[in-house]
Amino acid sequence: MTGAEDARLAASGRVVARQALRIGILPQEHFDYQRRAFEQGDNVRYPGPVFHEHSEPWFKAVEDGHELFAKDLRSQGIERLFIRDDWFVHAQAAFAIQQLSGEGRLGLHEFNEAAKRYLAAIAAFFAEQSIVGPFAITLSLQGLGEGEHFGAWFPNTSAVRTLRPRIVQDIDDEELVSGFLRRVRQASVYG
């Protein structure tokens, strides 16, 4: 499902292909046909979790669900959190890990903290909506060879991902998150 949503997003041209953190979440509620869809009433708008602190956190109705969509100064999509009506979640945050040019280093520590914070914010959002585990989750950091000189930080790969969905009770499961972040570090020149 995450791959199909990646393809649909790429085909739309709203988000330029680049280095990005991608998250796919399938909660147990996806299979509960009695469960209400995620929706916003006429007078109620829900803020959602954001990866980049300056992103606008308000959901808007779109085809098949709701999305939070943020653009950069050139009007290119840099962040998207999509909740389909059946509670499948697809999140993408471009420039999730950065090369800190003033310091000449890869911002692994900053990425680790931001990824943990973002997953905790998604978990809190789901708790507010009374969506509980288990969850099937995929995590990936893709496009590592894109961008000038960025590929030098990840010489042997262009993507780090969980190979198959992990079933966890909590979205911000410490073992899942730390295992993924360890794989990102191991794939970098810091190994």
The secondary element (H helix, E strand) that includes residue 76 is none
Structure tokens that stand for 77 in this block = 């999509």
Given this model, what pLDDT does residue 103 score?
63
pLDDT tens digits, one per residue of 49-61: 888 877 777 888 8
Would residue 189 count as lying in a domain? no
> Within a domain: residue 18?
yes
Residue 191 domain-assigned?
A: no
Q: Tell me the C-alpha distance between 107 and 20, whole Å.
A: 14
> Is 136 inside any structural domain?
yes
- Return the axis-axis angle of helices 174-187 and 108-128, rounded to nearest 10°: 150
Compute the distance between CA of residue 49 and CA of residue 69 in angstroms, rounded to an integer: 11
153 falls within a domain? yes
Q: Is residue 188 part of a domain?
A: no
Q: Domains in the chain: how many in total?
A: 1
**Residue at 167 is within a domain:** yes
Give per-residue pLDDT as tens, 119-157. 999 999 888 888 888 999 999 998 887 766 677 788 888
Domain with 111, as residue range(s), is 2-183
pTM of the full structure: 0.85
* 63: CB partners within 8 A, 6+ apart: none
Residue 21 within any structural domain of the chain? yes
Please, are residues 120 and 73 in contact by the beta-carbon 8 Å criterion? no
